[in-house]
Structure formats: structure tokens, C-alpha cells
Amino acid sequence: MDLCLNNRLAVITGAAQGIGAAQARAFAEEGASLLLVDRNEAVSVLAETLGGESLTGDLAEPGLAESIAERTAGMGGAAILINNAGISRPSPLAETTDQDWHAVMDINASAAFRLTRALWSQLAAHSGSVINIASFAAKRSTLFGNNSSYVASKHAIVGLTRAAAFEGATQGVRVNAIAPGVVATEMVKLHDEATRERIKAFIPQGRFADPAEIADLALFLASVRARHICGEVININGGLHMD
């Protein structure tokens, strides 16, 4: 299946590890050009391995989105944007500090807004695609609660997806979101075996998603095969949440 991604420039945030790194590898295999963004300097090693470019920085920094846009303009313009970067600072609502609330909202939602805004004209010029990484928590809550900032931020990214998709549909930009369940990333692997088994008990398929499965869905959404999909928030969670 030709996904027609050859030489199209994909910007992927949070690309140093986990879902972001899996997406970087998948898009490179399909011939896309890459600009990988992460605050972890390991992103430069991955970019070099894949033949792409990298930018190390914190997406909460003022002006970073504009710096990324300047960089992509010099690379021919972004055609694909994957807002994948995200953080979590779980705590009971009554104990969540303003600092933690704003930190999570800024990376998970505001940074995606700023980068989408900064790259919008480039994406429109390339009949581009934006893919926001949401979460099953954007459609319900987390499994065990005590993470109001994360849940709110993922609901916000769904709202941004739909609002941007409505505008983008008239301007040649498709905007969609992926709502993963529990993915076998480094963060999940930090849990002890008993906790992992407790989490799996919520998933009808009885397993975590592989990061490559999320990457495969992102490839499809970015491709011409998905050219009539607009404003969707697609579940990929093994039956954890269905709607």
C-alpha cells in the first residue's frame, strides 16, 4: 500500500522515546523527512540514525514553536505535525498544585496549540495533516483517578482537534487525534508486575498496546488513504473504552 509520504516533512514532538520514537521510525520507513523535537538530547541520536533532523528544547519555552516553524520553512515546509509530547503529574485533585496543573496543561494542550498555529500556513500549503495524541482518559478518566490535570489536558486536546479540524477542512489541513489506551512504554514498564497485571485486568484483550501499533495508525491518518477522515478521535485501546 503506497501511503504517499515520500519526502513529506513530518514534525514529531516527544520523539526521543516511546510512542514518539516508534512514530519516527515508522515515518522514516515510509520515506518521510523528519524533524524530531524533544527536551531529551537523545532525540538527536535517533534523528541521526533515521536520517532526519532534530531540535532539542522544552515546548513550554516561549518562542520555541516559532523556532520550529523557521526550521521547517528552511526544510521545505511541514506537511505532517504529530503533537505527541506529553507529561503526567498524578495527584489527588485536592493536592494538585497550581504549578503542576499549569505544567501539564502547557505541555499537553497549550504547546500543541502553539505549534499547530505556528505551522498552520505550511501545513495548508502542503495539504497537510495534524495528528494529536490524546488518550482514553480524554473520553472518561484515568483508571485509578487522582490525575485531574492530565485528564483535563487530554479533554482539551480533543477540543482543539475538533475546532482546528473544522477550520482546516476548508483550508486543506486535516486534523485528527488518536486516543491510545495503555501502551507498553518506558513509563508503564516502571510499574511492578502486580500493578501491570491490575491494569491489564481492565483491558478486554488482556495486553498493552505496542508503540508500533500507535505509529501504524498515525501513518494511516497522515496518508492519502485517510483523506476524508477529519476531526476524529480514534480509539486504539484493546477494548478498554468503546464509543
CA-CA distance, 147 to 91, in Å (whole number)? 5
CA 65 to chain centre: 15
For this structure, is 115 an active site residue?
Answer: no
CA-CA distance, 156 to 231, in Å (whole number)? 14
Longest dimension (CA), the chain: 51
Query: One of 147, 150, 157, 238 is an active-site residue; which one?
Result: 150
- Give residues with Cβ within 8 angstroms of 43, minimum separation 6: 15, 16, 36, 37, 54, 55, 56
CA-CA distance, 33 to 168, in Å (whole number)? 23
Residue at 148: amino acid letter: S
CA-CA distance, 62 to 226, in Å (whole number)? 33
Picking from 157, 195, 149, 146, the residue whose alpha carbon sits closest to that of residue 14 is 157
- Catalytically annotated residues: 150
